[in-house]
Structure 1
């Protein structure tokens, strides 16, 4: 792709260098989140109803070849350096191990990871490590079996813990644990999650609940804020901000009892980090999303299936990112939650 796009930023224009996903505010997307499926084998209350959702028809979901091709466009032509496979639950995608193997062959240096609920990870961790996966992020909101069953509507906590242990044994680290606190459900459990993570050498990340549930039942009043989380953790641990620059990382890091262990707080709602965002998302049906909360998408699947070349797809992707908004706008009175829930967008 040899041309240079000129992206309007008001009175002036900001040139977008060919081969980079640059938006009109100068942010460069180098971190690609690829949803492999909208299906999941849990039914977390803050994500979807007990009966599940209407899943994407199979013909609309990208094939393994199409996923690999689009990731290749991103890493080979658009300077993407991190690829994380998400869902839904990526482990329910039958071709996951082969997809990881093929993407690793495309680029030996790209950072490859998955975000998973760890069900089934005990069976696949070694195979994923062998084909080139670097690390895993595991979604886990509690260590108490009864609370786990309440949140996920499944009694599968031992399987999750076994999956995490298998990932650690396979060398898929650093292992990050992503936890969402919910008022009156598990908001008292942050200290025990952190103690467990420190004991096992995992990196805990506590995330503010975001308006991405299928039921559209989120409310800011019921959300546990970052400040509340820090207060709860501070009742048991001495926390201090790290000297390490945050950069584009979503988590604010704090040392735990003087270090070296740290805990991360991802305050997407109360302390948005949109100005440093370096992420772009590809849904399981081949739509580019420039923001987790975007209400518009750009269709790469149709373009690819109609015969466009890799260079044409790359150009389409560059144009899709050019119009990214300055921020997610959750505090704007006119904010509208995305039509797609988190399970269909990918984390």
Structure 2
């Protein structure tokens, strides 16, 4: 058995959500009051996560990304990374974080095998950043980024969800970040998930607008290839810049045909696709590798050829649609 689906796509990349909790309340991710949180006993233990990866690594799993919620709010995440980095076949472990807790934890994370970090940052203006996140502190994020640069944790990627009328006036400032430092800014189209359709229709902005803005500002963009862990992004480099610019276009130009991603939710559900609601409960099989492999095979068979971003989605077996905070993006 290997991690191949019905359309010949081989999967070597697993995104692991280790918590549904977050220290921010971003406007496109959850309501102001947050989400209904899982009970602690519903969340996978670190031992269960390690066991899951040990079953998949002989099948071709090579890359891991730790996500949340906000993964750094869960105690002992550096120990999980250390355990995962010791599994045969695992070549790369990355982390997606909002960056507010990164600076004081960075040494422990790197010492335990963290190779790369993606930081979600949607504004470089303190007031707007706080408006988008509702409770955030931009200074903490910037300190985390600068610390990662000093310590050589590269490539550093900054994920920017672009929203019309919210942060689209900051395109120039984000482009400038790539000029003098090895920072890779990735603009992400706002996706119509989590029941936010009304807000999405008002704020959605195709990413071609960024290219047009860059050209209008006199930046010359050259196509770039070979950036580690950049399989979903169309990547460009401003002439002479140290960093790059990425465009992730799941709405206007999906990348389904080249998708190699699988997901494990914090409560032990195996999701073959972010956008469809199908998922398999694998927690009950974590102590039986043969049963687990059978469930993984079943999950891979559920993966569609492509998503239908605007399709009417159906709830999962619990009867609700997961938020991005629960899936981990």
Bucket of the pairwise TM-score, normalised by the shorter protein? over 0.9
1:262-289 deviations in Å (ceiling 9; x for gaps): 2100011001010110000000001000
User: Counterpart of 1:301?
Assistant: 283
Name the CA shift for 1:245/1:44 in 2 (closer, same or farther; >3 Å): closer
**Residue in 1 aligned with 2:260?**
278
> Cα RMSD over matched residues?
2.1
Q: Distance in 1 between matches of 2:280 and 2:115?
A: 29
Matched, 1:269 2:248: no
Question: What does 1:93-132 align with in structure 2 at a 5 Å threshold?
Answer: 93-107=74-88, 109-132=90-113
Cα distance change of structure 1 residues 69 and 150 upon mapping to structure 2, 3 Å threshold: same
- Structure 1 unmatched runs, 5+: 1-17
CA distance in 2, matches of 1:327, 1:220: 22
Q: Does 1:238 align with 2:220?
A: yes
Question: How does the TM-score come out when normalised to structure 1?
Answer: 0.88
1:288 is aligned, of 270, 289, 302, to 270
Q: Distance in 2 between matches of 1:42 and 1:243?
A: 33
Stretch deviating more after TM superposition (159-168 or 84-93): 159-168
Residue of structure 1 in register with 2:236 after alignment: 254
In structure 2, what is the equivalent of residue 311 of structure 1?
290
* Greater CA drift, 216-225 or 27-36: 216-225
Tell me if structure 2 keeps the 8 A contact 1:239–1:254.
Answer: yes
| Distance (whole Å) between structure 2 residues aligned to residue 179 and residue 57 of structure 1 | 30
Q: CA deviation at 1:335?
A: 5.3
Aligned to 2:93, what secondary structure does the other structure show? strand
The normalised TM-score by structure 2 is 0.92
| Range with greater deviation from structure 2 (58-67 or 216-225) | 216-225
Structure 2: unaligned runs, 5 residues or longer? none
- Aligned partners of 1:113 and 1:135 also within 8 Å: yes
Equivalent residues of 2:154, 2:182 under 8 A apart? no
- How far does the alpha carbon of each residue in 1:52-78 deviate from its partner, in whole angstroms, 9 at most, with x for none? 111111111001111111122222x32
Could you say which residue in structure 2 is the equivalent of 1:80? 61
1:12 aligned partner? none
Contact conserved, 2:24 with 2:136, CA < 8 A, in 1? Answer: no
Q: Which of the residues 135, 139, 163 maps onto 2:120?
A: 139
1:322 equivalenced with 2:325 (yes/no): no
